[in-house]
């Protein structure tokens, strides 16, 4: 199948499919005309890539993990020993990012709480605390 067919089957844009190829996540064959040629396994690969992206992983990490996973129809299942430390590392990275976002939100909430409100006539109402 060509890239347009893969795009339709997976719901992923052709541009993004080319990006996945650039990142080493997809490796289509090239036909005699030079067009990319994909097979049904590539549909599964794109779905796996999307699942891993949704889990918060970057493409570099996905490139390392993807060969060690199998899609069982519902989930990606590790197929290589030694995958667990990488998954724990990524979970810790996500935990740190979440903590940073919560800190940022708390700071923003504090700023919002002390910011004067605008009046309907264009003036500003200063709220003293």
Per-residue pLDDT tens digits for 48-78: 999 889 988 889 889 988 888 887 777 778 7
Give the C-alpha distances (Å, rounded to integers) separating 37 from 1, 13, 14, 42, 47. Answer: 5, 16, 13, 10, 17
Per-residue pLDDT tens digits for 18-41: 999 999 999 999 988 889 999 999
Asked if 4 contacts 14 with a C-beta cutoff of 8 angstroms, the reply is yes
């Amino acid at each position: 199948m060509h890239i347009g067919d893969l795009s339709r089957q997976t719901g992923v844009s052709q541009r993004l499919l080319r990006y996945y190829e650039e990142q080493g996540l997809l490796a289509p064959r090239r036909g005699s005309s030079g067009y990319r040629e994909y097979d049904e396994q590539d549909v599964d690969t794109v779905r796996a890539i999307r699942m891993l992206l949704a889990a918060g992983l970057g493409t570099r990490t996905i490139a390392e993990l993807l060969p060690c996973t199998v899609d069982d129809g519902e989930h990606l299942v590790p197929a290589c020993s030694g995958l667990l430390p990488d998954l724990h590392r990524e979970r810790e990275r996500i935990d740190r990012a979440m903590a940073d976002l919560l800190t940022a939100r708390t700071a923003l909430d504090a700023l919002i709480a002390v910011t004067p409100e605008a009046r309907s006539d264009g003036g500003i109402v200063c709220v003293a605390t």
